Amino acid sequence: MTRRAAALGTALVVVGGMLTACGGGDSTVSGVPDSETLAPPPGGAATSQARVPASEDSGRFTEAPAPVDSDSPGYTAPVVGARERGYLAALEAQDIETTELSDSLVAAGNTICRIRTTGGAAGETTTIADAVAGQISVGDYSDRDVDEISRIVVDAAAGQLCP
């Protein structure tokens, strides 16, 4: 049972991080720009603020945030309505246990739909589906191989959750 709980915790962290990374539409690019000034934000004016050289550490964002427990104040699980129940039932029909992973599976399925409807790259949906499929496999929630589980997750999301 501890193995499943650990797999569930890991899946929640992975999906939560992916959901955070996919939100808002204002992404950044890593790397070192040629200029010592920051590029202007979309639709904004240029700034004269000098950027911190790559050799200096600003001290910000040095470690990943800790996982959030489901009983923590402010935690809200994904809403499970008729579409989400249909999605989970479609996964169950493919011999994937969903009971303990329902929050993670619903969050991943909704993220896959959001990527598909906003014109995201197929590789983005594959990354999310592969992460969830790995957690399903490691947690012994299915006897299928990871690639097959990943395909099932994407197909079920497309068929049940996506508009």
Phi, psi of 73 (to 5 degrees): -60, 135
Write out pLDDT tens, residues 105-143.
999 999 999 998 888 888 888 999 999 999 999 999 999
What was the pLDDT predicted at 71?
65
Write out pLDDT tens, residues 44-83.
554 455 554 545 555 554 454 555 566 667 656 667 788 8
What was the pLDDT predicted at 25?
47
Percent of the chain with pLDDT over 70: 53
